[in-house]
Amino acid sequence: MPGAIKKIAAVFFLCWSFFVFITAMILVLPFILILSVLLKGKKAQDSIFFFLKVWARIFSILCFYPVRTVSRNKTDKAYIYVCNHNSYLDAIAVVIAIAGSFKPLGKIEMVKTPIFGLIYKRVVVLIDRKSKESRARCVEELKTDLAEGQSILIFPEGTMNRTNEVLTDFYDGAFRMAIETQTDIVPMVILNARKLFPRSNPLAIKPGLITCVFSEPVQVQGLQADDLEALKIRVRTKMEEMINKG
């Protein structure tokens, strides 16, 4: 009987979380649509992120997912944030944890998601990893954002980690862009989100604290293309240490 009650409670909480997620999104959607038409560039992203943070805070409070940040950096300039990715809760965590606005790189398939897709395509740089042209376009768009002082966010694993490993292999993109644009990288990790809402078992969902830990920026000034692999290893090692320490 206790197992059955636990399962019923998990189903109820999952439905409640989905309801809050969508309802809060519907509340901010009109403002985001209007701002995306009236404003452009970083000014638009800054304004839109005000409402995205409202959405994330509503979800965080009503679904009992407080987000704690450790060593959050200042928004004194544009950075390339790289972060681990292993739960649907990561979207909430990064919006709350990262100070100011950022432009994430996201899969084009998510545009098809009802309601969420309307906001998603106005906030992220869409990429179709199967298309060489799409990948090239994304690189140029992200470089333009960085040049305009807009921070960006890339999940270097490329997709949600479904393995038992702390981190899966990293793609080169974030590190190549950092070197080519001479933009410092800020490694960050999200702790506990996978335990609270594992993608492999949604009925294992439960409320709890999500912690986002930031590293000091990894400086890339003077690095060249030949330094890419060493930079990637350095950042990955730092992120592994942060996860294991947490």
Range of the domain at 149: 66-245
Residue 59 maps to a domain: no
**pTM for the predicted model, two decimal places:** 0.94
Asked if the structure places residue 146 within a domain, the reply is yes
Evaluate whether residue 36 is within a structural domain.
Answer: no
Distance (Å, rounded) from C-alpha 171 to C-alpha 21?
Answer: 30
Give the strands of the sheet with 152-154, arranged side by side: 67-70, 210-214, 185-191, 80-83, 152-154, 103-107, 125-127
Total structural domains in the chain? 1
Q: Does residue 144 form part of some domain?
A: yes
pLDDT in tens, 134-160: 888 998 999 999 999 999 999 999 989
Q: Does some domain include residue 177?
A: yes
Overall average pLDDT of the 59-80 stretch: 91
| pLDDT tens-digit readout, 114-129 | 888 899 999 999 888 7
175: domain CATH number is 3.40.1130.10
User: Looking at the domain assignment, is residue 95 inside a domain?
Assistant: yes
Residue 231 lies in a domain: yes
Residue 37 lies in a domain: no
